[in-house]
Amino acid sequence: MLDFKSTLKMAINSLRVNMLRSALTSLGVIIGVSAVIIMLAVGTGASKKVTENMEAMGTNILTIRSASAKTGGVHMGMGTKPTLTSKDAEAIKKMARGILAISTMSSQTQQLTYGNQNWSTTVYGVQPSYLYIKNYEIEMGRGFIPEDLQNSAKVTLIGSTIAAELFGDVDPINKVIRVGNIPFKVVGLLKPKGQSGPFDQDDLIFIPITTAQKKVFGTDFPGTVSQIVIKGQNPDTLNETIQDITEILVARHHIGKNQENDFEIRNSAEFQERMKSTVQTFAILLASIASVSLLVGGIGIMNIMLVSVTERTKEIGIRMAIGAQVSDIRWQFLIESFLLSMIGGLIGVVVGILGSYLITVFAPTMTISISLFSIILALGFSGLVGVGFGYYPAYKASLLNPIDALRYE
C-alpha cells in the first residue's frame, strides 16, 4: 500500500515530466486569479478613494437648501426661489439640538482676473465656520475674522488651483485680484484637497457671505442664502437635529399641515453610505466577472486530467497490480489537479499584484488597494477549482480494472 508521501511524490514527478502541458493547463488559473486580484484591488481602491473624498468634504454634515418652487402646481426646479435666510440660520443655531457648527452659503460663477491672467470659477460666500465644517485648512495667510463679515470686507481665500492659474510661483498673499469687476485682497491660501470625483476641491474661492450678498451676487431676494450647512456633534443624534430644524423652519416659514415644505434637509452620512455601497457592489461584480475565467481554467484542468488518465491507463494498471489501492490512484490524480491549480494560483497572485501596480503607472489618479483577504480568497477559490474539477478524472482513474488497464495499448 502506497502512503500519502509516495503518492504526492508520484504526482509531482508526473507534472514534471509533462512540464509544458502542465504550464499551459495552469494558464487559465493564472489568468483567473490575477484578474480577480486586479478587479478586487481596483474596486477596494475606488471604495477607499470615495471614503477619503467624503471625509475630506466633511462628516456629520447636514445641508439645508430651498425646495423646488411651484407655479400652477408645476415644479420649477430646485432653488428657483430662495426661501432660506441668514435669520433662519441664527434661529437654528439657537434652538436646534446637537449642532457643532453652522454656516450660511451662497455661490455663483465669476471671472477672476490678476494682471493678464484670468480664470472662471465658483465663488462661495461663506461664514468663517464653513471652512471648519468642510475641513478646509489655511496653508498661508489667515482665515476670515468677525470684522470681515461685519464690514463686508473685500477679502478672499483662494484654493491652490486658483493660485496656480493666476499667480504661478508668485506668493498670492496680499495681492489684489478682481472678482468680476470688484477688487479683492487675497488674505489666505487654502491647503490642497485634490479631486473629489469630477470636482476639483481646490478650484474655488471664498469671500465673506455679507460681501457676497451686498457687493458681488446680484439678487432679487435680498437677505436670502443658497444653503445652510451644519456640522452635527454626533452622527447618532443627527435625526434629532433634523427633527428640530424641520420644526423651526416650518414655524418660521408659516407652513401649514397640508403644505409641502419649502426646504430640503440632506444628510451627508446617508449619501456617503449609498456611495460606498454602490462602489462595493461594483467591486464584487468585477470580481465575479473575473472569477468566470477561473472556472474556465478549471474546465481546462479537468480536460487535461481526463486525457492524462487515458494516456496513463497502463501505468495505472501496473501500480494497481503491485499493490496500489483505489484510494491511492484517486489521491494521485486529485493531488495532480490540486497542484496544477495552486501553482497557477500562486503565479496568478504575483501577476495580479504586479498588474495592479502597473495600472497606477498608466493611470496615476486611480487608487489601488491590495488586501490579504483578496489574495487568500483568490488562492482558496483556485484550490477549490482544482479539487472540484479534478475529482471526476481522479474518480474515473480509480475505477479502472487492473487487468483491462494492463492490456490497454
pLDDT tens readout for residues 330-367: 777 788 788 888 888 888 889 989 988 888 888 777 77
Greater confidence (337 vs 153) lies with 153
Cell of 380: 482558496
- What Rg value do the Cα atoms of the chain yield, rounded? 34
How far is the C-alpha of 69 from the C-alpha of 81, rounded, in Å?
6
Quote the DSSP letter at residue 170.
S
How far is the C-alpha of 381 from the C-alpha of 342, rounded, in Å?
10
Q: How many residues does the chain have?
A: 409
Query: Does residue 207 sit in helix, strand or coil?
Result: strand
β-bridge partners, 354: none
* 287-300: average pLDDT: 74
pTM attached to this predicted model: 0.63
Asked whether the CA dihedral 207, 212, 217, 220 is positive or negative, the reply is positive
Please give the mean pLDDT across all residues of the chain.
81
Among the listed residues 200, 88, 212, the one whose alpha carbon sits nearest the alpha carbon of residue 149: 212
pLDDT of 176 reads 95
First to last CA, the chain: 26
How far is the C-alpha of 166 from the C-alpha of 112, rounded, in Å?
8
* 266-287: average pLDDT: 72
Whether 35 has a pLDDT exceeding 80, the answer reads yes
Whether 312 has a pLDDT exceeding 70, the answer reads no
pLDDT of 76 reads 43
Whether 61 has a pLDDT exceeding 80, the answer reads yes
pLDDT of 78 reads 46
How far is the C-alpha of 384 from the C-alpha of 382, rounded, in Å?
5
Most confident of 61-75, 217-231, 346-360, 395-409: 346-360
* 182-188: average pLDDT: 96
Range in 76-80, 249-253, 326-330, 331-335 with the lowest mean pLDDT = 76-80
Element (H, E) at 104: strand 99-114
